Amino acid sequence: MIRLKAVIFDYGNVLCEPQRDSDLVAMAAECDLPQDRLTEGYWKWRLDYDRAALSPLEYWARVAPGMAQNGALDRVMKLDNESWARPNARSAKWAGELRKSGLKTAILSNMPLPLREYLDRECHWIPEFDHRTFSCDVLAGKPGREIYEECLSGLGVAPSEALFLDDREENVNAARRLGIHALVFTNLAQAQADIEEKFALSA
């Protein structure tokens, strides 16, 4: 059994529920775009937005040229923030319980600044963490190594002492290349079963 000192959580689709199709429909309507075009642009430039290489205006202007002129920017940003704010209550509770048991915990997430500020302001269900690493703050994103190294440094643990949970395989593989234990998160029950089989959680 591998003994851990820290558990690191992705945010999207791990601590929160997945974005809904209806969210993209609503954003597409505000942008006056077909949903498929909205979705394509939304993800094409998302990592640049997440790591603050694009401002909100620059990002949404690429997703939907001309949108700023029709006054939709604030509305579509609100819809975007809200789409990532629905709690996965069981995962959030478990993260809090791990920290109370004496383990160190962290969030490691690709996230644009407007969303991080919205979560800080509105989402009081998010538990306390020992460290929080967001791409918009460190100007680097997963799967690049810099963001993982910043998180480990903030926690004060070695890669081999940490477990990372993320819903994207490329991010999990990047963590493993740095020596971090990592699992692809599909749901909490599966994650807990995998952890029980391989890892010892202890302070």
At residue 177 the predicted structure's pLDDT band, cuts being 50, 70 and 90, is very high
- Give the pLDDT of residue 187: 96
Residue 74's contacts (CB-CB under 8 Å, 6 or more residues apart) are none
Measured CA to CA, the distance from residue 166 to residue 10 in angstroms comes to 5
Region at 63 (left for phi over 0; alpha for psi -120 to 50; beta for the rest): alpha
User: What is the per-residue pLDDT across 26-53, written as a single tens digit (0 to 9) for each?
Assistant: 999 999 899 999 999 999 999 999 999 9
Structure token pair of residue 97: 């319980």
- Give the pLDDT of residue 162: 98
pTM of the model: 0.96
Q: At what angle do helices 35-44 and 21-31 cross, to 10 degrees?
A: 100
pLDDT average, residue stretch 70-96: 94
- Give the pLDDT of residue 68: 62
- Give the pLDDT of residue 65: 87
Note whether 125 and 11 are within 8 A (CB): no
Measured CA to CA, the distance from residue 32 to residue 72 in angstroms comes to 9
User: What is the per-residue pLDDT across 92-145, written as a single tens digit (0 to 9) for each?
Assistant: 999 999 999 999 999 999 999 999 999 999 999 999 999 999 999 999 999 999
Q: Which residues pair with 104 in a beta bridge?
A: 6
- Give the pLDDT of residue 190: 96
At residue 201 the predicted structure's pLDDT band, cuts being 50, 70 and 90, is confident
Cis peptide leading into residue 112 (ω within 30°): no
* 203, pLDDT greater than 60: no
Q: Kindly report the length of the chain.
A: 203
Measured CA to CA, the distance from residue 96 to residue 139 in angstroms comes to 27
* 67, pLDDT greater than 80: no
In the chain, residues under CATH classification 3.40.50.1000 are 2-17+87-201
At residue 72 the predicted structure's pLDDT band, cuts being 50, 70 and 90, is confident
User: What is the per-residue pLDDT across 152-172, written as a single tens digit (0 to 9) for each?
Assistant: 999 999 999 999 999 999 999
- Give the pLDDT of residue 138: 98
- Rounded alpha-carbon distances, angstroms, from residue 3 to 7, 14, 107, 118, 185: 11, 22, 20, 35, 20
Residue 86's contacts (CB-CB under 8 Å, 6 or more residues apart) are 16, 17
Would you tell me which CATH number, out of the four given (3.30.450.20, 1.20.120.430, 3.40.50.1000, 3.90.1170.40), belongs to the domain 2-17+87-201? 3.40.50.1000
Measured CA to CA, the distance from residue 130 to residue 174 in angstroms comes to 22
